[in-house]
């Protein structure tokens, strides 16, 4: 979908459809709405006064213009209460209008958001682009029916003058890059597990790393064994012959190896059967989404590199299936982790923490500023927080607050849970250093308590996205299916380390050089076509051995980008007209 900007007035816009936003309990039409209402013979005022259109959030009503306006149709869009309208509501409005117009079979529309609140033009246009593009995302690759697919071709954002138009164009480009990173993440999660295998995640990562000039390694099972990642390999045992694991390392180091990076660790279980402690059959098909954490960290580093943020970031992904079989680990087995700590396996379905444990230990070699792991880790988190919040735990209050604020700014909210010492009692083992589950009580917390034992040498936060990584009903800019959650939160977290220029500005928009990111398309691959992945280039900041047969040599590391400056306020605010 193409995003356009032009100067002009909504009442004079020649288009298939224009969108007019109205606030709830609005007592007087704005100048723009009044001009459209007058041309239509007062029908909008009548609808409002009669209560037939209450302007509730996401309420819509289509009006034909009968040639009384240059546009063929006007779509009324409820914006809700004006006092509650914020940048997230604007993002939602963009998603709602875009999907509504698309579903009507209309190919394009124009809108003026200039009287929708007091936002800077850059902020408003970035949020608009994110909402419109994320809202109209679809994953229809495997649908072969002849039913006509409805798609939007273009959206035009109208501006008051050329100066505002320039800000709009920049904001739309920033929003596009963010939305493409989210789409990349969603594509990975939505694809079936016979397509997105550990090797396939490695190949897709190498592809975007090469385009964006990142350093990428994809370690195979032999190299993982050399690192003594016994906890990770324990999970992989059940499928190691047919779908071997991969440990994926991506480095974006524009500030050089001497500057400590942020490290993002994402759980990459491409299919989770539960192993020997097998899950119930009902709903098991959804367990392809158990690699949503890995998709989030890869989408985030993709966006960070495309935006050329001056901050060092590393993404680590332990990717494997969790399958039963003759080679699979048993309940009662003891594994030796990369850290040397021993783990008694109580339940093979508590596998995510086992793969993350070794990745968190690996992160130590970067001497990182801080580490975030993100995972669809526990059903207990769904019970505790439902589908509206991420579980947030960690070992450093200041860093936890920083992560929480990054989520607030992205409308990917996280709720802080404690890891008091009493919870550690539940994961003590009689025969090993730890056991991998503390039972049903406080399951989310005891899982994080387990992880904390492998994250003792740096500030660390854990994000449990079990309840938020998949959407069952569909929301304004989150269609049914994979949500891509975590991409924008981690991007905002990286921005907060771009000091002193970016920080946590209200707009959360970075005015920095942008690079065109590769289009987020799902690659067609099956198990039969899976080739053995190998690292593209030796990561300069790690001690991991280079693979013997690189598949795709990574491009040289990206040069340090100029410090990203806080987006200056557009001299023309989007205010009421």
Name residues whose C-beta falls within 8 Å of residue 61's C-beta, 6 or more positions apart in sequence: 47, 53, 75, 76
> What is the secondary structure of 495-516 as a DSSP string?
HTTSTTTTTT-SS--EES---P
Please list the residues that pair with 75 across neighbouring strands: 19, 62
Apex 167 CA angle, 163 and 172, nearest 5: 145
3-class secondary-structure state, position 17? coil
What tokens does 426 get? 């539940």
- What's CA 335's distance to the chain center, in Å? 32
Only one residue has tokens 């970031």, namely 313
Q: List the helix and strand counts (H, then E) for the chain.
A: 15, 22
User: Considering only CA atoms, which of 392, 408, 184 is closest in space to residue 304?
Assistant: 184
Instruction: Give the pairing type, strands 246-252 and 215-219.
Output: antiparallel
User: Does 279 qualify as catalytic in the annotation?
Assistant: yes
Q: Out of 186, 353, 402, 453, which one is annotated catalytic?
A: 353
Residue 516 CA to residue 566 CA, distance in Å, equals 21
What tokens does 526 get? 């099956």
Return the biggest CA–CA distance within the chain.
82
User: Does 102 qualify as catalytic in the annotation?
Assistant: no
**Omega within 30 of 0 (cis) for the link into 500:** yes
Q: Out of 279, 341, 475, 577, which one is annotated catalytic?
A: 279
Name residues whose C-beta falls within 8 Å of residue 185's C-beta, 6 or more positions apart in sequence: 292, 295, 296, 298, 299, 482, 484, 486, 487
Is the alpha carbon torsion for 271, 277, 278, 282 positive or negative?
A: negative
- SS3 annotation, 89-140: HHHHHHHHHHHHHHHCCCCEEEECCCCCCCECHHHHHHHHHHHHHHHCCCCC
Instruction: Give the pairing type, strands 334-336 and 342-344.
Output: antiparallel
Cβ–Cβ under 8 Å, residues 373 and 363 = no
What tokens does 396 get? 């450093």
What amino acid positions are annotated as catalytic residues?
279, 353
């Amino acid at each position: 979908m193409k995003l356009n900007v032009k100067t002009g007035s909504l009442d004079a816009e020649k288009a298939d459809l224009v969108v007019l936003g109205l606030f709830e309990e609005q007592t007087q039409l704005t100048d723009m709405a009044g001009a459209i209402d007058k041309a239509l013979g007062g029908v909008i005022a009548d609808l409002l006064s009669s209560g037939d259109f209450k302007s509730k959030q996401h309420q819509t009503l289509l009006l034909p213009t009968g040639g009384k306006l240059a546009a063929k149709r006007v779509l009324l869009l409820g914006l809700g209460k004006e006092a509650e309208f914020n940048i997230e509501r604007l993002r939602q409005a963009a998603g709602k209008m875009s999907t509504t117009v698309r579903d009507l079979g209309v190919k394009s529309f124009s809108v003026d958001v200039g009287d929708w609140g007091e936002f800077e033009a850059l902020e408003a246009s970035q949020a608009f682009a994110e909402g419109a593009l994320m809202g109209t995302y679809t994953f229809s690759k495997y649908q072969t029916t002849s039913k006509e697919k409805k798609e939007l071709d273009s959206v035009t954002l109208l501006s008051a003058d050329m100066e505002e138009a320039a800000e709009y164009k920049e904001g739309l480009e920033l929003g596009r890059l963010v939305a493409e990173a989210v789409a990349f993440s969603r594509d990975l999660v939505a694809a079936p597990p016979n397509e997105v295998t550990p090797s396939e995640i490695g190949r897709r990562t190498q592809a975007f790393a090469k385009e964006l000039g990142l350093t990428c390694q994809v370690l195979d099972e032999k190299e993982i064994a050399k690192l003594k990642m016994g906890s990770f390999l324990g999970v992989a045992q059940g499928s190691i012959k047919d779908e071997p694991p991969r440990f994926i390392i991506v480095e974006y180091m524009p500030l050089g190896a001497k500057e400590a990076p942020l490290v993002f660790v994402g759980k990459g279980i491409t299919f989770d059967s539960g192993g020997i402690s097998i899950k119930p059959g009902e709903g098991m098909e959804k367990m392809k989404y158990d690699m949503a954490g890995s998709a989030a960290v890869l989408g985030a580093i993709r966006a960070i590199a495309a935006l050329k943020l001056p901050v060092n970031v590393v993404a680590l992904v332990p990717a494997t299936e969790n399958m039963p079989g003759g080679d699979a680990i048993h309940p009662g087995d003891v594994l030796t982790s990369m850290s040397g700590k021993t783990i008694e396996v109580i339940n093979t379905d508590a596998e995510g923490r086992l793969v993350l444990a070794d990745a968190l230990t690996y992160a130590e070699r970067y001497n990182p500023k801080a580490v975030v792991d993100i995972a669809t880790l526990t059903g207990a988190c769904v019970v505790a927080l439902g589908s509206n919040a991420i579980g947030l735990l960690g070992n450093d209050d200041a860093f936890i607050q920083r992560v929480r604020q990054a989520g607030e700014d992205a409308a990917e909210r996280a709720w802080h849970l404690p890891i008091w010492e009493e919870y550690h009692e539940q994961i003590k083992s009689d025969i090993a250093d730890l056991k991998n589950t503390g039972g049903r009580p406080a399951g989310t917390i005891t899982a994080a308590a387990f992880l904390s034992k492998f994250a003792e040498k740096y500030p660390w936060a854990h994000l449990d996205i079990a309840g938020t990584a998949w959407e069952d009903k569909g929301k304004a800019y989150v269609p049914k299916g994979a949500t891509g959650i975590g991409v924008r939160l981690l991007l905002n977290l990286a921005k907060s380390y771009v000091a002193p220029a970016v920080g946590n500005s209200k707009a959360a928009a970075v005015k920095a050089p942008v690079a065109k990111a590769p289009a987020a398309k799902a690659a067609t691959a099956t198990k039969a076509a899976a080739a053995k992945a190998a690292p593209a280039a030796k990561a300069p900041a790690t001690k991991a051995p280079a693979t013997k047969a690189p598949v795709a040599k990574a491009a040289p590391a990206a040069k340090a980008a100029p410090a990203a400056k806080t987006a200056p306020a557009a001299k023309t605010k989007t205010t009421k007209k």
